[in-house]
Structure 1
Amino acid sequence: MKKIISSIIISAFTLGSYGLSPAPQTVYVGYGTWGSPYYSFYSDSNGNNPINLAEYEFYHGTQYTFTKILGTQHPFFISDIPDFDGSYHMGYLSTNIVVTHPGTVSRISGITLNTGSLTFNMNAGYTNNLYYYCTRSGHASMVKVFNTSPPHVSQNQLIITEISPADDLVEVTYFDNKSAILPRDFYFVVDGLSSSFIPEGTIFTAGESKTFSVNLSNSGSIWLYSTQNGANNATYEPMMCGLAYGTTQPTGDIHSTNAYEKLLWKDPEAFAYFSGASNSLRLVAFDATNPDFWLESSSDLNSFYDEQVVSDLHPDILIGDVKIGLNLVTDGVNHPIGIVDPNDDSGRLFVLQQTGEILSVDSDYNLNTNPILDISDELVSLFSFPGYDERGLLGFAFHPNYLDNNKFYYYASYPVGGSPDYSFPVGYDGGENVVIDHHSVVIEETYVDNNLNGVFDQGDSVTNRRELIRFEQPLSENFPVIGSNHNGGNLSFDSNGYLLIAVGDGGDANDTGNGHGVIGTGADPSNIWGSILRIDPDGTNSINGAYGIPADNPFINEIDKLDEIYAYGFRNPWNPSADPVSGIIYSTDSGQNNVQEINRVEWGKFHGWRAKEGSYLFDTLSGNNGTINNPINLENEVLPIAEYDHDQGYANIIGGHVYRGTAIPELQGAYICGDYGAFFGWSGTLLYYQLDGTIKELYIGASNRDLNCDVRAISKDASGELYLSGNGGTNHFIYKIVPLVDLSLEEISDQMHVTIIGDEGSTLSLIEMNSLDSDASSSTNVLNSGGGIIRSINTSGFFKGIAE
């Protein structure tokens, strides 16, 4: 198996070093003078930092503001169409530039110290010359031209996207949403020698591909450098992008004969396989850094993008026909993360609090706030500002033989300490050491039945604590206030009795940044992050000896793939769960910006991230979703079975379970999940996916009311009935999902007990009739859910429940 390595090298230089620097977007105008440049200009509002406008370039498509901070004698204005005498003094403005200013300002009365600011934006494709001038009629000599141009090509967004050795052609695509110009020649370096170049002044429109003639062979290397000779130059030279390719992986440093300490990444084995049987080696994703995304194909030159940005990814989710109710279990919990059922005939449910406590609630929904288990003092510090966290107690599961061996497992966030089983190698993050926030730890414990009542409760103790697995979690650079995100954490057992562990990609955004390496973590099965693990807690054949590796795991004994991984390519899989009937494992995955997905978790498969968000290709540079021409399936890839976008206010999908209960027959076999809802909006959405491939919203109550909490977890009890855990603005809730309305009849001591069950937020009425005729007499009993009436067993009649 080839190593997972980088085919893109990113440098640390800036384009401003090529010549003119990008102009500041706010410029402060001082006193006017008779000599060029006619005004003093500053980068600060106090006039302490003078700048020479001739050294700066103003880019098309960028908004600039000029504010006068000194003087009233030389009003300042701009023009790009000359006056009748051919002078740009008192000239006019074309429709290709958008200018805003106070109503008192015009071409003959520009901005002064007391009249506000002037803001302008040159449209893309702007071709005029832009001037500034003094609006005094006698000051016609005070006119000066701006340096304007399309923006410079961003050095990390000009990407080789196809090579065609049969035709000696190379396709280069600009990965940006606006046009830009090459500030100097860029050189193709083939097998260490300059071959040809892209000339200075070449303009790339947004997402444009261009093809260039380059002498190629069926095996070699090609790199795009900012200066001639590239790697053979004696001095440090920035490298844009490139790859080595062929049938035999080269040895040594394939892109450099020198030491390039300034490169953010350097790997001697950046290699993509190419047999030469096809015309081309094509990039088939937006993530050019991963050689697995380069595939052999017929030529498809001059057109990489089909749509660089897809604006409407999915149709709106419809409200389904299935109506459900909610019954409050408790609102006395704190940051609930779900419930688990010990299935010990006690009728209790265990409530998991993210803060580290496990409480119990009895069959009558009485909450015992004395924890059965409390690890809160052991966890990393949680819930500081802004009151949101993705760390804590994140998962809990009973051993399949729990009633015999008393074992249970939990997944939690611990301070850095001890020896992690999986850590980031030195220099993993582009030569930098990864900054660690905390450790994720899966722990096994065994309860001791001290009070001899046969169940695990507050009177018992735990023993035999042992760590199964411990691994590092990186500090989030983009969201340091919450420490670390995308920690996954849910635990469950599959139908074979093996423990499933959900592990996120390590957080931040786009699977980039601290702890993500060159190709990210999700697409890299050589690391633990971005995966669903499958282990045997009763085994010992893991590297640390604390658990076993199931013999049928997909990557047993494969070099550079972890034995523990069951499936990979996830951003933050939440709540993988196995259907108890089919054994199929389902999991949701939280999207980056636009797409949320439901996955059928498949053995050994790559589930798309970060190459794709949902079924759409994902650009790690811009965060956009798009498509390419003549797409080719990625190797070993499997797409989501369902997905949706954020058009309706959705934010983050929360995984659930295939419904196998009996209370709501209409949902039998459907996968029930939810959407978290807008952050701090405290109103999520319940969803269901059916075999017809559609996602729909569950209709809540008689009037389809909004939830009063977000959706944090969908859990199930031993009978397959479902529960919602969520956080509200001040209270936190657990609800049982019940029918909108239903009746049950039970004979007790020669009496018929008629009970109504249904939505507590609706008005429930039990109607008793003496016949089914339309004019039959009836009586109506308005009851709470769980209420009912008692009639003699000999009474004849009919009963109906309604919810309003």
Structure 2
Amino acid sequence: MRKIISSIIISAFTLGSYGLSPAPQTVYVGYGTWGSPYYSFYSDSNGNNPINLAEYEFYHGTQYTFTKILGTQHPFFISDIPDFDGSYHMGYLSTNIVVTHPGTVSRISGITLNTGSLTFNMNAGYTNNLYYYCTRSGHASMVKVFNTSPPHVSQNQLIITEISPADDLVEVTYFDNKSAILPRDFYFVVDGLSSSFIPEGTIFTAGESKTFSVNLSNSGSIWLYSTQNGANNATYEPMMCGLAYGTTQPTGDIHSTNAYEKLLWKDPEAFAYFSGASNSLRLVAFDATNPDFWLESSSDLNSFYDEQVVSDLHPDILIGDVKIGLNLVTDGVNHPIGIVDPNDDSGRLFVLQQTGEILSVDSDYNLNTNPILDISDELVSLFSFPGYDERGLLGFAFHPNYLGNNKFYYYASYPVGGSPDYSFPVGYDGGENVVIDHHSVVIEETYVDNNLNGVFDQGDSVTNRRELIRFEQPLSENFPVIGSNHNGGNLSFDSNGYLLIAVGDGGDANDTGNGHGVIGTGADPSNIWGSILRIDPDGTNSINGAYGIPADNPFINEIDKLDEIYAYGFRNPWNPSADPVSGIIYSTDSGQNNVQEINRVEWGKFHGWRAKEGSYLFDTLSGNNGTINNPINLENEVLPIAEYDHDQGYANIIGGHVYRGTAIPELQGAYICGDYGAFFGWSGTLLYYQLDGTIKELYIGASNRDLNCDVRAISKDASGELYLSGNGGTNHFIYKIVPLVDLSLEEISDQMHVTIIGDEGSTLSLIEMNSLDSDASSSTNVLNSGGGIIRSINTSGFFKGIAE
């Protein structure tokens, strides 16, 4: 039966040879001559490397600068509109080209040795002819045209985005943010045989989709090659993109979008399922390499993008009505990443230092700098520059039955050694082996109460060390000085007593590069990275026998999915925590460039990364966020419950806890988190998310003062009260989050003890009043937080606290 072709769009024209090279962005102009090309040109300021401009193309949308370095007789200038006599000599410039030069330079005077440079940028869609000329009035013959063109198509950004086998149509979209031209014919190859081509000279505007007629079958493969040899399978590359589809899985390697960079689909069975029940197979994300992002639907040809780049992702975060105070716990710590409460009736808190030590602070906030536990000598060497390394001691948690079994757990970065439980396969990165920076290890230890005082302190020892899980972390290609990033590391227990382990995607940018394979780690539940794990440290049914797999984990016995994974699709989850009342697990996730998010962590669900940053589709090539027409939800996906962008100077979200303390009733049930703040700006932000779906800034002190540190962690004690840990420019801090101002009354031995608690950065006044009907008072007492007065139990009156 003959098929009806519903739409064929081919835009093509010939602009001559496409064998020209891209022009240097700075060109140096030498002596003028009467013969073509009328000037000598150079690529260096010393005039040692002559170039022939006829061999170069000047691309629309690219800035170029011309500087005169030799000769005084022939000033240089450009024009793209002829003068009244029809000549471009002393012509004019259109509004489609942006030209800058010193004020002493004009179309009459040109640039000389002494008058500076001329810079120009042709707008996208530029259609004029551009000329250069000598500005001397008698030199009208010294005029020459530039070779101008849209830039050549970026080979890794021309993507097949939809196929319609029923109509023999293929949609191709250009992912770049500027217009570009095909420098040669590009060939469609169907089931290994050359089928048709996109003609040389076809122009794609930024984000444009075009539809082409290609003979397709309901099951098979379609590739787009950029050379005739590639189309004839004479060479392995370069290929633009490819798609294997159907109901029968293909055999052999199926190339993917980035094949020319030696990347392959993750295995020969990776292909997009297409039953033929619908007439099209559509890409519903920007990442064409992941088969899960291709879904069957009705045709939606000719328009893939709705908005290729969303410039304003979210409105500004408002300052909330909840006012809080801060009380300094200690400023004598080194790179704190949080506190934990042993809840052993000692009143102490344990302070975690990223450098590998665990210190203690008593109920009066006296810091004991003699570590309870010190693993600093065991860790991988940390980057010494203040404040930035994502390795070290990253997580700590007490066993739910800690008071009975003395067990605790920590997550730390160790040098490569031993046998990792999870490692990257040989050739994982497109045939190349992953370069490993270190191992992340979760360890269980048991303390021995040597001094028989019933608590774990500096007089005790630890024993029965055992590794629960060890896995590789790749070296960062973009930031090798810091070794590795996106290591996650937070440990906590859920309401069922199972250990949650936060694991980042392995670092670098866009979930690409060393250690990320073809589809990235976050969207791939067959590996451990980019996930929140859930294990039973008391069990033994894991592959290594060191821990158990909870029977209700989502991927039990599923092929190509890890039993340990509770949820996946994270970039760097920091930090998962369970609400002690509802049992719901919340986690923030650090965004790539633009969006920070709060997630309700759901059982077995895909939380978006790297298909999305927040709720916006994410382009792994450009790092931009955008939207597509007629979007289809990704299968098994869950969106963040709240998110924000970087417009207000935010940089990186830091997870916290649902507030279940009693000191600040206005925050009851709200999720408290923070933003790290501008890197090395030493001033983060405290945030809260409420059930109405809004995220707001906490108002700090009486004047909403800035923090004097970044935000590294939001921790809680056994009573549900919260603490902030952060680094300042010189000192590092731990603060307790308290009410802006509050009073407590306690009867002790026939006396009334009145205590004021509040923000230490504000002036706190405890006011004694004779009556509630007026502000008249018997006295005003300016006190520090924790200070108070004592009055006879028989004293009549009223008390009020003020922060200002």
TM-score (norm 2): 0.96
Long gaps (5+) in structure 1: none
Moved more, 555-564 or 89-98: 89-98
Q: C-alpha distance in 1, partners of 2:731/2:3?
A: 50
Q: Contact 1:161–1:171 at 8 Å: present in 2 too?
A: yes
Residues 607, 775 of structure 1: alpha-carbon distance in 2 compared, 3 angstrom cutoff: closer
After superposition, where does 1:62-73 map in structure 2 within 5 Å? 62-73=62-73
Query: Is 1:636 aligned to residue 636 of structure 2?
Result: yes
The 3-state SS of whatever aligns with 1:34 is coil
Q: Contact 1:12–1:263 at 8 Å: present in 2 too?
A: no
The 3-state SS of whatever aligns with 1:177 is coil
Q: C-alpha distance in 2, partners of 1:584/1:10?
A: 53
Q: Contact 1:316–1:648 at 8 Å: present in 2 too?
A: yes
- Cα deviation for residue 4 of structure 1 reads 34
Residues 329, 6 of structure 1: alpha-carbon distance in 2 compared, 3 angstrom cutoff: farther
> What CA deviation, in whole Å up to 9, does each residue of 1:208-260 have, x standing for no partner?
11111111121111111113474533234411112111111122345699999
TM-score (norm 1): 0.96
Q: C-alpha distance in 1, partners of 2:5/2:428?
A: 11
Q: Contact 1:726–1:734 at 8 Å: present in 2 too?
A: yes
Long gaps (5+) in structure 2: none
Query: Is 1:27 aligned to residue 41 of structure 2?
Result: no
Q: Contact 1:416–1:437 at 8 Å: present in 2 too?
A: yes
Q: Contact 2:503–2:532 at 8 Å: present in 1 too?
A: yes
Residues 466, 263 of structure 1: alpha-carbon distance in 2 compared, 3 angstrom cutoff: closer
> What CA deviation, in whole Å up to 9, does each residue of 1:113-135 have, x standing for no partner?
22211100011111111111222
Q: Contact 1:8–1:242 at 8 Å: present in 2 too?
A: no
- Cα deviation for residue 10 of structure 1 reads 24
Task: Quote the residue 1:487 is aligned against.
Answer: 487
Q: C-alpha distance in 2, partners of 1:420/1:17?
A: 55
The 3-state SS of whatever aligns with 1:17 is coil
- Cα deviation for residue 68 of structure 1 reads 1.7
> What CA deviation, in whole Å up to 9, does each residue of 1:444-486 have, x standing for no partner?
1111111111111111111111111111111111112222111
Q: C-alpha distance in 2, partners of 1:281/1:5?
A: 16
Q: C-alpha distance in 2, partners of 1:653/1:486?
A: 13
- Cα deviation for residue 15 of structure 1 reads 16
Moved more, 459-468 or 386-395: 386-395
- Cα deviation for residue 17 of structure 1 reads 12
Residues 259, 175 of structure 1: alpha-carbon distance in 2 compared, 3 angstrom cutoff: closer
> What CA deviation, in whole Å up to 9, does each residue of 1:659-683 have, x standing for no partner?
1111111111110000111111111
Q: Contact 2:12–2:199 at 8 Å: present in 1 too?
A: no
The 3-state SS of whatever aligns with 1:410 is strand
- Cα deviation for residue 6 of structure 1 reads 29
Residues 266, 583 of structure 1: alpha-carbon distance in 2 compared, 3 angstrom cutoff: closer
Q: C-alpha distance in 1, partners of 2:685/2:17?
A: 51
Q: Contact 1:7–1:242 at 8 Å: present in 2 too?
A: no
Residues 467, 209 of structure 1: alpha-carbon distance in 2 compared, 3 angstrom cutoff: same
> What CA deviation, in whole Å up to 9, does each residue of 1:63-103 have, x standing for no partner?
00111222222222111122233222222211211111122
Residues 208, 138 of structure 1: alpha-carbon distance in 2 compared, 3 angstrom cutoff: same
Q: C-alpha distance in 2, partners of 1:16/1:367?
A: 76
Q: Contact 1:335–1:353 at 8 Å: present in 2 too?
A: yes
> What CA deviation, in whole Å up to 9, does each residue of 1:554-577 have, x standing for no partner?
111111111111100000000100
Q: C-alpha distance in 1, partners of 2:434/2:364?
A: 49
Q: Contact 1:701–1:759 at 8 Å: present in 2 too?
A: yes
- Cα deviation for residue 263 of structure 1 reads 6.2
Q: Contact 1:160–1:241 at 8 Å: present in 2 too?
A: yes
- Cα deviation for residue 631 of structure 1 reads 0.7
> What CA deviation, in whole Å up to 9, does each residue of 1:572-611 have, x standing for no partner?
0001000111111000000111111000000110000000
Q: Contact 2:10–2:211 at 8 Å: present in 1 too?
A: no
> What CA deviation, in whole Å up to 9, does each residue of 1:758-793 have, x standing for no partner?
111111111112232227543211111111111112
Moved more, 51-60 or 139-148: 139-148
Task: Quote the residue 2:663 is aligned against.
Answer: 663
Q: Contact 1:3–1:560 at 8 Å: present in 2 too?
A: no
- Cα deviation for residue 757 of structure 1 reads 0.7
Residues 135, 211 of structure 1: alpha-carbon distance in 2 compared, 3 angstrom cutoff: same
Q: Contact 1:10–1:239 at 8 Å: present in 2 too?
A: no
Residues 628, 2 of structure 1: alpha-carbon distance in 2 compared, 3 angstrom cutoff: farther
Residues 527, 6 of structure 1: alpha-carbon distance in 2 compared, 3 angstrom cutoff: farther
> What CA deviation, in whole Å up to 9, does each residue of 1:301-343 have, x standing for no partner?
1111111111111111111111111000001111110000011
Residues 441, 213 of structure 1: alpha-carbon distance in 2 compared, 3 angstrom cutoff: same
Task: Quote the residue 1:571 is aligned against.
Answer: 571
Q: Contact 1:20–1:57 at 8 Å: present in 2 too?
A: yes
The 3-state SS of whatever aligns with 1:452 is coil
Residues 371, 565 of structure 1: alpha-carbon distance in 2 compared, 3 angstrom cutoff: same
The 3-state SS of whatever aligns with 1:229 is helix
Q: Contact 2:412–2:441 at 8 Å: present in 1 too?
A: yes
Q: Contact 1:5–1:290 at 8 Å: present in 2 too?
A: no
Residues 7, 446 of structure 1: alpha-carbon distance in 2 compared, 3 angstrom cutoff: farther
The 3-state SS of whatever aligns with 1:377 is helix
Task: Quote the residue 1:187 is aligned against.
Answer: 187
Q: C-alpha distance in 1, partners of 2:14/2:746?
A: 78
Q: Contact 1:6–1:518 at 8 Å: present in 2 too?
A: no
Q: C-alpha distance in 2, partners of 1:564/1:164?
A: 39
Residues 6, 352 of structure 1: alpha-carbon distance in 2 compared, 3 angstrom cutoff: farther
- Cα deviation for residue 264 of structure 1 reads 6.5
After superposition, where does 1:505-520 map in structure 2 within 5 Å? 505-520=505-520
The 3-state SS of whatever aligns with 2:261 is coil
Residues 110, 775 of structure 1: alpha-carbon distance in 2 compared, 3 angstrom cutoff: closer
Report the aligned-residue RMSD: 4.2
Residues 8, 320 of structure 1: alpha-carbon distance in 2 compared, 3 angstrom cutoff: farther
> What CA deviation, in whole Å up to 9, does each residue of 1:510-565 have, x standing for no partner?
11111111111100011111000111111111111111111111111111111111
